[in-house]
Structure 1
Amino acid sequence: MVKETKTESPVLFMSEASFSYAGGHSGAGVEGISLSLGKGEVALLCGSSGCGKTTVTRLANGLAPHFYEGTETGTVRVCGLDVAHAELWETARFVGSVFQNPKTQFYNVDVRGEVAFGCENLGFEPADIERRVDASAKEFNLTPLIDESLFSLSGGQKQRVACASAAATSPALVVLDEPSSNLDFEAIAQLRMAISRWKATGTAVLVAEHRIHYLEGIADYVLYLDNGRLARRWTADEFARLDDAERIRLGLRARSVDDAFRNSGCCSVPAMPYAQKAALGENVVRLENLTAHCRKNGVLEKTLEIASLELPVGSITALVGACGAGKSTFAEAVCGLNRCDGTVTLEGARLGKRARRRKCFMVMQDASHQLFSESVLDEVVLGMEGPDRQQRGLDILCDLDLDLFAEDHPLSLSGGQRQRVAIAQALATNRALVVYDEPTSGLDLFHMQQVAEGICRVCERGITQVVITHDPEFALSCCTHVAVMDRGRITEAYPLEESGISRLASFFRSEYHAGEDDPSIRKTPYSRQKE
């Protein structure tokens, strides 16, 4: 996989590629990366947060060093093009990219314009652009949203738009950086099908991921990075035989959906015993007649309608559901952050919207929106009181493996690190209700476990928590209850005891395996398909 010895020239070829960022940029550089990908081959880049996965993707699509300045050595070629010395527009003819935060790559305000953007830049004919846009929208289930504003979409829907835009130009190489971080299991299944189709048609795919289960049976190679170096390599068969204990030691997530449930006890944070859940008592946080509206195409539509929901005081409820089901709207309404009606009864008092802002705390999906201070430590102690607040803030940062970044600017950190800073803010408050919107997006196994441990410690203080998540490993690690949302309504709610775990497993499996029998999906390597 390293040497350029294939009968066909590789789509992506790296030889001893190294990159270090200039100007004190906190991104992890890489050293001596060698790999090659041929037509229809899929490589998974994995490793802990900050190990250099994103930098490898930036080398492949030319953003390093053209956008991210720094020193590059070695060789990086795509379809024979030296991307380090070619203009970005030249590289764009061969490479499609999907970033971890899709909003950073949007140039339009509507879905159709964004999907068409790359094709227009490359000078495709109008009729061809229209055909490509329609095909990509259908492939990523965006046809009903094609004329919507990007600002009205959920995080997962925006990620699907980014994928569709990358696919529309029919690139030789698709580079994806944490593409599943904001997706539900249904959307992940669609992403899996898209990668399978790219593979079947000869497109090479390079994926940097923590949530690796959806690439089972698709990835030809698994590349493990450690401190900027390519430390381990496996073929698909070799990785499938990797011992679970070794996988967990390396900080890698479950390799399949079934493994996430079958091996939930392997996590360092065991599922909370139901006997302990039962000790939560009879006091509840009650949500009543919680509604919210938004305007779509000039029509006011109800996006949230919660007649009644009770959360046991001190519980940790996993709120699950498809992208666009209203989960983020629910979180904002509970915390009094959007235009909504209804009440939340907390500590015996019925709270209106203004009172909820004082009693509740929300960790947003995009943590950058709530980071304002000049240093990580200042951010954490902002809402704390008392002469020992600096030390208490440092203790919280240490618990989340952030103490070394205490004096760094929050926005200089990686996406996963920013997420943990926002969670540290939540842990530093004494609010009665904390809501997390996808707190483990972009986190590796080790840091996911740290977040789960932190949330369990908050639970010990009697604070009620709601976790919006598409992450079954995380839900099994710390949640006590589950609530399922569909089209703005809670359709079922249950404790996460033995039968509840079975129900949750059925929920995720039913979403994930949708479309598995699609005849257009081919899991065998492209080279063997040609034979």
Structure 2
Amino acid sequence: MNISLKNVSFSYSDSLDDAILKNLNLEIRSGECVVLAGESGCGKTTISKLINGLIPHYHSGTMDGDVLLGDKNTADMTLAEISRTVGSVFQNPRSQFFNIDTDCELAFGCENMGMDPEEIKRRVANVVQEFHLEHLLGRSIFNLSGGEKQKIACASVSATGPEIFVLDEPSANLDLKTIADLKEIVARWKKAGKTVVVVEHRLYYLRDVADRICYVKDGQIAHEWTPAELEAKGAAYASSLGLRCMNLGMLSERAEPHQPNNVIASEAKQSITFDNLTFCYHRKHPILDIDRLELPCGQITALIGHNGAGKSTLAQVLCGLQGSWRQKRAARKRGTYLIMQDVNHQLFTESVLDEVLLGMKPQDENLALEILDGLNLKQYADNHPMALSGGQKQRVAIGSGISSGCDVVVFDEPTSGLDYRQMLAVSATLKKLAASGKTLLVITHDPEFILNSCQSVIRMEHGKIVEQYPLSGNEKQLVKTMTENYRDCN
């Protein structure tokens, strides 16, 4: 089904003077896969909400122009009608869950459309096989990792069989093996004649699937390329536009020997050591079973591993949010700060500036503004945090962690939803934090971020620590480890 955006302007306020989209025109042909790329906050997600009808039927604002699905204007359709044509996977998968277990969630969309029970069973069985979800059946939604939740969201939408798929940052919390699975699903949708629109910062997994990459800037489509055309322009050109790596093969070429932080190296600080660390939910099999973990002080350490390896659970235990291990949980909470994978859980105030000031003792507005400036957020100081884009919210939460004054700061996927330029800004801020003597643990599936930021790497699988090494001199080992399960990465 064709999608047409004709002279569309939109503002989330009551005036088009501050419109995020300005007289935008975009034609997407039936069966085409189009990627919307661009820097955080440029309006990519707003375009996706125009296509799936959330604008104007759910989000208030001021709009001019037309959005057509085939020959129908979305303004003349109900959300129920649009949802039968357009299936959406949002940036935060939890926002579209309606059940507490995976089996019911996979069937919910089909049930909501009144399908025959036998047809629902057939469709659910198909998506379980296509998405390799056998190990997630019968699970509580609340006990899934972020990547596992994203897979369930994609599969539940796929089961309803829409003509158009709109995906907003679907790879944000996925490991590279799962991203390879996602690539296959998008390719399968395209082969079946479906129209696919993907809002993404990670471009490499779509280079063999996408027909076009549309670059959004200043509320308009500023550039259009085929993946081959953008890749041919080189990494420096993409980086200048705030775009991520187009080909994972480039990571090995760019993996230059890592230079340790001079302050860290000269001080030769010791490690924080954890022995015999175990944890399980509801007396079931252990999620964590760690003999020994050494976290280097005054460094940025990357914690890597597949989805469901136990990384986020480890972060919660270390910060006193789970379990009663050794040191009292209250003491651990005072000394550590966790920036969650879903930052919506930890944004509390009425302004971005107040959010950064909230945990700062004593409060220092000048320092808070300096932190925001380093994260490219100073211009949003008076904005409400929940009015920001996903990537901007992520950086606000990072700012709060920096201002907390805690000695240990744990970041759970801090670069999900960030473009290349913003990733580098976060990297620079974390380096300054580590240089001041703070100990940083970063859970991430982002090899570009690790190569730019970290001094050491810890790899977890099945709740155990299977590898730990300094990054300097081992850059190519890291790239190989993180890409070995990604098919066609070169």
For the aligned pair, the TM-score class normalised by the smaller chain equals over 0.9
Match of 1:92 in 2: 83
**1:149-298 aligned within 5 A:** 149-263=140-254, 271-273=258-260, 278-279=265-266, 281=268, 283-295=270-282
1:302 paired residue among 281, 286, 297: 286
Residue from 495, 498, 510 that aligns with 2:484: 510
Q: Return closer, same or farther for 1:28/1:457 CA change in 2, 3 Å cut-off.
A: farther
* Separation in 1, partners of 2:19, 2:133: 34
Compared CA separation, residues 124 and 508, structure 1 to 2 (3 A): same
Q: Which has the higher mean CA deviation after the structures are superposed, 14-23 or 398-407?
A: 14-23
Q: Map of 1:125-524 to 2, 5 A cutoff?
A: 125-263=116-254, 271-273=258-260, 278-279=265-266, 281=268, 283-295=270-282, 300-342=284-326, 351-386=327-362, 389-498=364-473, 500-513=474-487
The residue that corresponds to 1:522 in the other structure is none
Following superposition, the deviation at residue 497 of structure 1 comes to: 1.5
Q: Aligned residues, how many?
A: 489
Cα offset, 1:292, TM superposition:
1.2
Cα distance in structure 1, aligned partners of 2:387 and 2:71: 34
Contact 2:276/2:289 (CA < 8 Å) preserved in 1? Answer: yes
Structure 1 residue 406: Cα displacement: 1.3
Relative to structure 1, the CA distance from residue 483 to residue 280 in structure 2 (aligned partners, 3 Å threshold; closer, same or farther) is farther
Which residue matches 2:63? 72
Instruction: Give the structure 2 partner of residue 348 of structure 1.
Output: none
Please give the alpha-carbon distance, in whole angstroms, between the structure 2 residues aligned to 1:469 and 1:28: 34
Task: Quote the offset at 1:26 in angstroms.
Answer: 13
Partner Cα separation in structure 1 for residue 370 and residue 203 of structure 2: 32
In structure 1, distance between residues paired with 2:117 and 2:295: 53
User: What is the CA distance between 1:112 and its match in structure 2?
Assistant: 1.7
> In structure 2, what residue type is equivalent to 1:136?
V
Q: Which residue of structure 2 lines up, in the alignment, with residue 345 of structure 1?
A: none
Partners of 2:264 and 2:437 within 8 A in 1: no
Kept in 1: contact 2:230–2:238 (CA 8 A): no
Distance 1:261 1:233 in 2: 27
Aligned-partner residue type, residue 303 of structure 1? I
- Shifted more, 332-341 versus 393-402: the winner is 332-341
TM-superposed CA distance for 1:426, in Å, is 1.6
* CA shift for structure 1 position 23: 5.5
Aligned-residue sequence identity (percent) comes to 43
Q: Is the alpha carbon distance of 1:71 and 1:490 closer, same or farther for their aligned partners in structure 2, counting shifts above 3 Å? A: same
SS in 2 for 1:443: coil
Greater displacement, 30-39 / 468-477: 30-39
Contact 1:44-1:222 at 8 Å conserved across structures: yes
How far 1:210 moved relative to its partner? 0.8
CA contact (8 A) 1:281 1:312 kept: no
Deviation at 1:247? 1.1
Compared CA separation, residues 214 and 125, structure 1 to 2 (3 A): same
Once residues 247 and 191 of structure 1 are traced to their aligned partners in structure 2, the CA distance between those partners, rounded to angstroms, is: 23
Q: CA deviation at 1:278?
A: 4.8
In structure 2, what residue type is equivalent to 1:444?
Answer: D
| Contact 2:258-2:472 within 8 A present in 1 as well | no
Q: Is the 8 A contact 2:251 2:479 kept in 1?
A: no
Deviation at 1:310, TM superposition (A): 1.2
Task: State how far apart, in whole Å, the 1-side matches of 2:8 and 2:190 are.
Answer: 25
Distance 1:120 1:25 in 2: 40
Alignment TM-score, normalising by the size of structure 2: 0.95
Map of 1:521 onto structure 2: none
Q: Distance in 2 between matches of 1:254 and 1:233?
A: 17
Question: For the residues of structure 1 that align with 2:267 and 2:457, how far apart are their CA atoms?
Answer: 15
Q: 1:451-502 CA deviation, whole Å, 9 max, x = no partner?
A: 100100011111111000000000111100000001111111011022x212
The Cα shift of 1:16 comes to 2.0
Change (3 A) 1:173 1:216: same
Looking at structure 1, the residues matched to 202 and 16 of structure 2 have their Cα atoms a distance apart, in angstroms, of 26
Q: Tell me, yes or no, if the aligned pair for 1:293 and 1:340 is still in contact at 8 Å.
A: no
Report the AA paired with residue 137 of structure 2. Answer: I
Shift of 1:271: 4.3
Pair 317,323 (structure 1): closer, same or farther in 2 beyond 3 Å: same
Supply the distance in 1 between the matched residues of 2:466 and 2:54 (Cα, whole angstroms): 44
Contact 1:289 1:306 (8 Å CA) reproduced: yes
- In the alignment, the residues of structure 2 paired with residue 129 and residue 193 of structure 1 have an alpha-carbon distance, to the nearest angstrom, of 23
In structure 2, what is the Cα distance between the partners aligned to 1:230 and 1:495?
43
C-alpha contact 1:79 1:94 (8 A) present in aligned 2: no
- Asked if 1 retains the 8 angstrom alpha-carbon contact of 2:16 and 2:62, the reply is no
Q: Which residue of 2 aligns with 1:526?
A: none
Q: Which amino acid aligns with 2:447?
A: P
Check 1:138–1:27 CA distance in 2 against 1; reply closer, same or farther (3 A cut).
Answer: farther
CA distance in 1, matches of 2:412, 2:18: 25
Contact 1:264/1:477 (8 A) holds in 2: no
CA contact (8 A) 1:42 1:199 kept: yes
Q: Would the aligned equivalents of 1:26 and 1:413 in 2 still touch at CA under 8 Å?
A: no
Three-state SS of the structure 1 residue aligned to 2:359 is coil
The 3-state SS of whatever aligns with 1:118 is helix
Aligned in 2, Cα 1:232/1:264: closer, same or farther, shift over 3 Å? farther
Deviations, residues 92-137 of structure 1 (Å, cap 9, x unaligned): 1211100000111111222122221221222221111111111112
Give the Cα separation in 2 of the matches to 1:271 and 1:381. Answer: 34
TM-score (normalizing by structure 1): 0.88
Question: How many angstroms apart in 2 are the aligned matches of 1:32 and 1:258?
Answer: 38
Q: Please give the alpha-carbon distance, in whole angstroms, between the structure 1 residues aligned to 2:362 and 2:407.
A: 19
Tell me the CA shift for residue 361 of structure 1.
1.2
Structure 1 window deviating more from structure 2 (423-432 vs 317-326): it is: 423-432
Q: 1:71 to 1:377 in 2, by over 3 A?
A: closer
Instruction: Tell me, in whole angstroms, the C-alpha distance in 2 between the residues paired with 1:211 and 1:233.
Output: 17
Per-residue deviation, residues 434-454 of structure 1 (Å, max 9, x unmatched): 110111111111111111001
In structure 2, the gaps of 5 or more residues are: none
Q: In structure 2, give the amino acid aligned to 1:239.
A: L
Shift in Å, 1:315: 1.5
Aligned residue for 1:77, secondary structure, equals strand
